Amino acid sequence: MKLFKHILIGGLVGLAAWAQPTPLPELKKPFEAGVRAAQQQGREQLRTASARYLAALAAAEQVLQESHNAQGLAWVLAERQRFEQAGTIPEEALGRGPLRRAQEAWQEQAGQAQAEQARRLSELAGKYIQELARLQQELGDNPEGLAEVKAETDRVLDNSIIRAALQAAKPAKPAPETAPAAGATKPAATAATAPPKVSPGPAGAYKFFPPGKEPPAKELKPLRLEFPNMASRSAASAYGLGAGVFADKDKLEGNRQGGAGFAFKQERGVSHTTARLTVTSHGRELAEGSRLAVHYFSRPVNSPADCHEERVELITLPALARGQAVVVDGAGIDLGKFEHHGTRKSFKGGDEFYGLIVSLFSPDGKMLIQQCSSSALAKACPSRLPEEKQQESLRERYGGGKP
């Protein structure tokens, strides 16, 4: 009887110990508090750097106003508006002189803030994973507790921010041995800063470049992108979009004639407009196979209110880790133009480039971020991944000036 009593008491004690909740919440609470603190510190460092840059822009604005430098003032105002919306400074937005130094200072401070945040997060996550592994050993044969710990471990390792921080903290792989110049050394890039692998688009239609390596384009016109809704604006902390266009005139035909009391000069031709786009992964990584949808819009020279969608390009993107960016040139559109300048009458016709809608979609078609170059295009912004649309045959809408 005494033996049975001892066995029963021992079994009840074992069951009580087995049924006790795991100390997981005690481990989870300080880890999540540390993550929030690291992210808050990163945001504060970025806000400080941004405030310094905006102060530099304000000082430059005052100097340019006093010196009546209209061109420089217009650039500063546009840059301030662009930065307040995007919150980042890509390579294509860099200016010259003192302002460029202020921009490069922001880039350096922002990079340091991101690196420091990644270091703190990787330390927190590494320590937490070790504590979870120790807890898993202590639980023994407790199936419910083991399942809870495994679910928490998977949750941490599947978090894109934590995963990127752990990846950034890994030591860089040694570069293949080559024959460097005497005394020359070149540090290997880490996974977080290595340029993304880029490849040509379908049939070479789209050209990819690492930021700062794209070929110069004469008369590249930056476009100020607006958010069509609050949902897209809230995604700016995760992804960034930049756009500019450049036009190359070709197939121009000129004609000049004169006579008694009159003279005229007329010219017609085709203008090819190409979009240069920048995609940046800020707070989240971008999966390989994500799609960039680019809608080109034009309008008749003699009817500016008549907006027309010329083309839709779907560009498949490479994978981007946090902090990486890629530049891609679209295929562009062709637009016909006509101008007549005479002694008695002058007129022009044809189409001109109006604007872009740029949308970023995940590989499964989920909208990530969307912007447009004009508020008038906000209503035309699609909510789903569109189909690719080739440009129709060249529409020669010359109005009264049709030759």
234-243 pLDDT per residue, tens: 788 788 899 9
**DSSP result, 70-116:** HHHHHHHHHHHHHHHHH----GGG--SHHHHHHHHHHHHHHHHHHHH
Confidence of residue 156 (pLDDT cuts 50, 70, 90): confident
Among residues of the chain, what percentage have pLDDT more than 70?
75
Average of pLDDT values for 283-290?
89
Report the DSSP beta bridge partners of residue 334.
272
Average of pLDDT values for 253-261?
54
User: Bigger pLDDT: 195 or 217?
Assistant: 217
User: Bigger pLDDT: 282 or 262?
Assistant: 282
**DSSP result, 231-246:** HHHHGGGTEEEEEEEE
Rounded-to-integer distance, Cα 31 and Cα 37, Å: 10
Confidence of residue 297 (pLDDT cuts 50, 70, 90): very high
Q: At residue 397, does pLDDT exceed 60?
A: no
Rounded-to-integer distance, Cα 267 and Cα 278, Å: 35
pLDDT digits (tens, 9 = 90+) for 39-98: 898 888 888 989 988 998 898 888 888 888 888 888 888 888 898 888 888 888 888 777
Average of pLDDT values for 110-125?
84
- Find the helix packing angle between 97-139 and 143-158, rounded to 10°: 170
Average of pLDDT values for 36-40?
88
Query: Which residues neighbour 74 within 8 Å (Cβ) at sequence distance 6 or greater?
Result: none
H or E element that contains 380: none
Average of pLDDT values for 106-128?
84
Work out the mean pLDDT of the chain and round it to a whole number: 77
Q: Which residues of 190-227 are buried (b: 16+ CB within 10 A; e: fewer)?
A: bebeebbebeebeeeebbbbbbeebeebeeeebbebbb
Alpha helices in 140-173 (DSSP H): 143-158, 160-169
H or E element that contains 255: strand 239-259
pLDDT digits (tens, 9 = 90+) for 305-357: 778 899 999 999 999 988 888 999 998 888 887 776 666 666 677 788 999 99
Contact 356, 296 (CB under 8 A): yes
Amino acid at 297: F
pLDDT digits (tens, 9 = 90+) for 128-141: 877 877 787 777 77
What is the pTM (predicted TM-score) of this model?
0.49
Contact 241, 276 (CB under 8 A): no
pLDDT at position 187 is: 42
